Structure 1
Amino acid sequence: MHEWFCGPTAFHCLRTPPQVKSLYPLFPDIGFPAGRRQVKHDYDGSTGWANVLGPLPLHAIVRDPSLRRPSLVVKPRVWTGDLPAGAFYDDEDLGITYASPAFTVFTMASQLSITQMIMAMYELTGSWSIYRPNREIQIQIDHMENTRLAWVGGWQQVRTTRGLATSLWKRGPLITTHELLAFARGISGMRNAQKYLRAAARVQGNTASPLEARLSMLLSLPPREGGEGFPPFFANYRIAYSHTAATLAGKHTCYADIFFPATETHPAIDVECHGHSVHDGDAQGGVDANRSLALQHMGIEVIHVTHEQLTDIDRFEAFCDHLAARLRFKRRSKTEAMLNRRDTLRSELFGSWETLGGGLAVT
């Protein structure tokens, strides 16, 4: 059989930085018993295949119904019809084929809730990824960094102000929101196609961190789905400074995390998310102050929100009241059903993003 990995296996592979993939040989041919035994033998351990493909069994598309029997190594999914255009691409370094970002989410639709599908889409369309190396892999990544061989393919591990490695990686988006929606046309009529389309329609745009993705979902989803239903906004919106603003900021452009364009009733508003990894420290505080002053000079109001203000429901309610007042937006009163859905949404959003899709959580 040819390894056409899909679902959680493909999602884990899409999350794995090229730096990690470069440490591995060609994947064994699991079309034969010897190959499956080799994978099982190599799977456990500090540098086993679980670091690239996630936990066993591996999810794979098979074209021959005779290969539908699952094993400890492979969980096959028979697909006898035509595959959507652009459903797979090859990884020549590993010798495997795995699903494209859009097809990966589609093949996880039966396993994920709508909220989880939207979360996965935000990660794939965002300029970030979640991957936590184990201790042995991290040592090799650190060595690559020290020898200036890191950042293959534009991937860069985010570190705290103390230099500690995190599970957050910066990289270019793997797919655009437009491509997500375009893919939906190719799967029209298939099982879970409507669920996929509903999720894709909820993605507001390219975010730069999981915190921004969480805030985007909390603000944009309608109250019947647990969100606040705020007016449309742009995520990771590019702003070109005026001459004076550029002098104040020391830069020519910036990117607003959440940007509400100006209307006749309110000014433009930039909502900035502050997480611990990249915003702590005196130096970053000075950058943020300069940036805020530059934007305010241009008539753009800046509102800062922290991780703690998002996770604490009372503080989040106070933040939403403030934002709604600045936007001249009337928040809807929530029914008991809406409040229950809100709690469910927050439970999913603030759970472990690392294990989204059934991935490994490495401590």
Structure 2
Amino acid sequence: MGLVLTDISAIEAYRRDPVLGQRPSVALPFGKMRGLNLVRPRAAELREFDQRGYVSFSRPVHVLVPHRDMRMAANDVRWHVWSGSLPKSGAGFRRDAQDVFLASPELALLHYASHADLADAIVLAFELCGTYRLGGLLGFEKADPLTSAKRLNWFASGVQGARGAKRLRRIADRALDGSASPMETALAMLLSLPGTLGGYGLPSPRLNARIDVSSKNGLNQSKRYYVADLYWPEARFAVEYDSDRWHVGPERIGQDAARRNALLFQGVNVVTVCSQQIMSESKMDDVARIAARALGRSVRPRAREWRKRNRELRRAVLPHRVDGSGGCW
């Protein structure tokens, strides 16, 4: 008896409890034991799913089984069958409750990628590779990364031929590690995705990259390094996102100014972007042009119907809600 959740259902469990991703993996011998009672769902378990604390999960619920004959008729359940072996990266399952297990983030994303819009799946990959999880009172909260772009690539290579594997490889190639918020994800995706996906086609930045500050630069400062939201080291260019929520008040404004001054003194050109610029189509175009000039590039998307694709991308990456103060994340 037991349930193994995958796809968005597993992701929602990881979001509900950010510590889950750090728990030791559990080995479930998928594909090796035809009578694997440990992951053979029962109708009563599916009926009691809501009462067991999963009432807020989206529908359908995605359940993983090792054999087709383990599926059963059930409302609001989507079955995923996995009868083969899994690569070492992404092979482990996590125990959410006594008899509820979660597919690894890599396997869950593979199943999500098999049916989701590509941009939505890349957004999710940024979250899984980042230091935040959606949910909570503020819309997102800090959390340790669940995976990395490299691990997603390894996993995709290890399951070649599986449904969604090719798409997962495309997602892994576009995902970046280290995003700290949904708006940082949106900014990075808009700037770096190719024109065919509605992005501005600029080189991929490093996210939340450490920039060391020389102690011999003559400035009166206590910090020896700063962290840039988006950073292109070859061009010594950084883009900083000023959140409506966090970058307010005299003390924080002063800290931000000191950081920008120190980086400028180090030869790092810094551009600050706020949520109003990202949310505005025309102002975001201007941000892209400024970044392109700093990187020695030009923004001339050649994809047909680029503006239409850009708007579709914006719908996928930009938040659909604001915080209690009326501002974005």
- For 1:71, the equivalent position in structure 2 comes to 74
User: Structure 1 pair 116/92, CA: closer, same or farther in 2 (3 Å)?
Assistant: closer
Helix, strand or coil for the counterpart of 1:278?
coil
- For 2:233, the equivalent position in structure 1 comes to 261
Helix, strand or coil for the counterpart of 1:166?
coil
CA distance in 2, matches of 1:39, 1:221: 39
- Deviation of 1:350 (Å): 1.7
Is residue 195–residue 303 contact of structure 2 (8 Å, CA) maintained in 1? no
- For 2:58, the equivalent position in structure 1 comes to 55
1:1-363 equivalent positions in 2, closer than 5 A: 1-18=1-18, 31-40=41-50, 42=51, 48-51=53-56, 54-72=57-75, 74-85=77-88, 86-91=90-95, 94-132=98-136, 165-244=137-216, 248-263=220-235, 268-334=236-302, 336-352=304-320
Is residue 129–residue 148 contact of structure 2 (8 Å, CA) maintained in 1? yes
Helix, strand or coil for the counterpart of 2:69?
helix
User: Structure 1 pair 236/98, CA: closer, same or farther in 2 (3 Å)?
Assistant: same
Structure 2: state its 5+ residue gaps: 22-38, 323-329
- Deviation of 1:277 (Å): 2.1
State the identity as a percent. Answer: 28
User: Structure 1 pair 107/20, CA: closer, same or farther in 2 (3 Å)?
Assistant: closer
Helix, strand or coil for the counterpart of 1:180?
helix
User: Structure 1 pair 17/39, CA: closer, same or farther in 2 (3 Å)?
Assistant: closer
Is residue 87–residue 158 contact of structure 2 (8 Å, CA) maintained in 1? yes
Is residue 4–residue 88 contact of structure 1 (8 Å, CA) maintained in 2? no
Moved more, 283-292 or 328-337: 328-337
CA distance in 2, matches of 1:205, 1:226: 21
- Deviation of 1:348 (Å): 1.4
Moved more, 191-200 or 317-326: 317-326
Helix, strand or coil for the counterpart of 2:211?
strand
- Deviation of 1:254 (Å): 1.6
Q: TM-score if structure 2 supplies the norm length? A: 0.84
CA distance in 1, matches of 2:105, 2:15: 10
- Deviation of 1:220 (Å): 0.7
- Deviation of 1:351 (Å): 4.8
- CA RMSD of the aligned region, Å? 2.6
Is residue 123–residue 129 contact of structure 1 (8 Å, CA) maintained in 2? yes
Q: Matched residue pairs, number?
A: 304
